[in-house]
Structure 1
């Protein structure tokens, strides 16, 4: 037997803002909301499905340094340039962490400054069950 990652919990100042942003980015839907926490995941699967859900919870501690963990996302239905524009339009912003310009990915931040990368490689969307 082994474990499986079922959810990522992200502390933030505004759980609703980040849940809405990441629903737009990932095509997720709200699964649950309780005690200030908002859980989102793939449509039609709910908690415990094949992909981890994201849980945004209220936190007051501001980010002070580089996170030890970040998310990478890959486009599913368009090229990287079109997906970059879609993410920027949704509220992401470009972040300079010392890139050289030769990278095949873009470093972005969500509305609260959490860094994530948009990769070039296009992947197939996971089908809902």
Structure 2
């Protein structure tokens, strides 16, 4: 028997702002609030093949490079078009020491959390209850 990742928790100053951003990026929806924490996830909700994100309100600012970051891949367009979409949604380029020769783009979300946009296009994962 094994485990699987069902939730990722991200400390942030503004859960609503960050939730709106990641819902736009991932096609997620707001699942609900638990006090000051916002959970977002696929339209099918918790427990499906995709993890939910819990955006946990914190007054402690991010310090330096995070030991964990997210990688995302486009599902319905090429990398250049997806980069434009992510920048329009509020992402910004981030410099973590890359050379410029990489096949991926390093970006930061509205609170400065780095993530990478990879080149390879992948199939979207259908979650239970997702609209057709």
Above 0.5 in TM-score?
A: yes
Alignment partners' CA distance in 1, 2:3 and 2:57: 27
Deviations 1:44-89 (A, max 9, x none): x211111110000111111111100000000000000000000000
Deviation at 1:123, TM superposition (A): 0.2
- Alignment of 1:89 onto 2:88: yes
Please give the residue correspondences for 1:1-129 in structure 2 after superposition, counting only pairs within 5 Å: 1-43=1-43, 45-129=44-128
**CA distance, structure 2, for counterparts of residue 11 and residue 126 of structure 1:** 26
- Please report the TM-score for the alignment, with normalisation by the length of structure 1: 0.97
Q: How many residues align?
A: 128
Q: Deviations over 1:76-120 (max 9, x none)?
A: 000000000000000000011111111000000000000000000
Cα separation, 2, equivalents of 1:35 and 1:92: 27
Q: 4+ runs of 1 displaced by more than 6 Å?
A: none
Counterparts of 1:24 and 1:6, CA distance in 2? 20
Structure 1 residues without counterparts, runs of 5 or longer? none
Q: TM-score by structure 2 length?
A: 0.95
